[in-house]
Every structure is written in structure tokens, then in C-alpha cells.
Amino acid sequence: MSKYKARLIAKGYAQTYGIDYEETYSSIAKMTIVRIFIIMAVAKGWSLHPMDVKNVFFHGDLHEKMYMEQPLGYVDQTHPNLVCRLKKALYGLKQAPRAWSDKIGQYLVTSGFQTSHADFSLYVKRTDHGIVIIVIYVDDLIFTGDSDADIFDLKKLLKQKFKMKDLGELRYFLDIEVI
């Protein structure tokens, strides 16, 4: 049985810098940080927990006023010339990765995490039980720390806030095989 996905994608190629968007960036951890993160976890005997965010860019909030034509198949027959105002980011928008990075970053900071000065995609939280560390690479997150209970609680909170898939135990990450 084949599985088909349909996505509404914005015409980001038609966007103009300074008018439709200002910044484009995404939470992409540096490879050096990813390697150090994995090595540290292995050296300390900590488990590595990967998670994947489903439809990652749909979680981001837009700060700019963005409009798009009504999508085919959903055109209002009584008002066919009206446009849709976007409140959430869509795939294709140049600012969609930034909107997601802002959203996850704000959520983690309000949850007690601190951003690392070495890499803005690395978050650290000290708890009564120990430490939890997260590294983010766009829609992939890896958790480690010395408190599996804190990691479990965090994963539960993140699943409630964002649609995420728990990938079990880390095996591969960015062409790095973890054994």
C-alpha cells in the first residue's frame, strides 16, 4: 500500500528580501558540537534519545504580514478573489526555518534551558536530579543527560507542545553511526 502526502507549499521564490522577510536561518548545530555532544554522552555513559519533529515548519509563528492566494481545491466560490493571511509558517517561505527556530528556542528557554554560547542550537538545563542537554539540527533533536527521568519528562512535554516522533535509541545522526 502506497502512502501519499500532500503539503501546502508557499511560493517562497516570489518573496523579496526586506519586504516579505528579513532573516533566514535555522537551528543547525555545528558538526564539531554534534561530535563533542555524542562523545561526551558516551564517555559519561549517558543514553542518547533522538526525536523528529513532524511538519516542523508548520509550528513557527509568522511575525510579518504574509498573504497567499487561495489554494486550488479550496477556493471560496462566493469570494474567489480573496487571499489568505498566514499566521503560521508554511514550507517554501524563506522565513519558515527562522520561525521554527524562534518557537523551539523560546519554548526551551521558558522551560528553564539556557542557550550555549558555543552554539545556539545547544541547550542545557540543570535540574534537582542532574543535567539535560539538547542539540537541535532543524527538525531533529537529540537529548542526553544524567537523569533519564528528566529526559522522559522533557520528551513528554515536547510531545504535548509539538508533534514529535520518538526514534528510540540513537543509531544514526547526520551520517554518524552510533554504536
pLDDT, one tens digit per residue, over 52-110 is 888 777 777 777 787 888 888 888 899 988 888 888 877 667 777 788 788 888 999 99
Residue in 66, 49, 43 with CA at minimum distance from that of residue 142: 49
pLDDT band at 11 (very low <50, low <70, confident <90, very high): low
Q: Which residues have CB under 8 Å from 159's CB, separation 6+?
A: 166
Gyration radius (Cα) of the chain, Å: 19
Q: Are the CB atoms for 25 and 99 separated by under 8 Å?
A: no
Q: How far apart are CA 148 and CA 37, in angstroms?
A: 16
User: What DSSP element (H or E) covers 148?
Assistant: helix 148-161
Averaged over 19-34, what is the pLDDT? 70
In the chain, domain spans: 49-167
What dihedral angle (degrees, nearest 10) is formed by the CA atoms of 69, 75, 76, 80? 60
User: What DSSP element (H or E) covers 161?
Assistant: helix 148-161
Give pLDDT, residue 55: 77
Give pLDDT, residue 114: 93
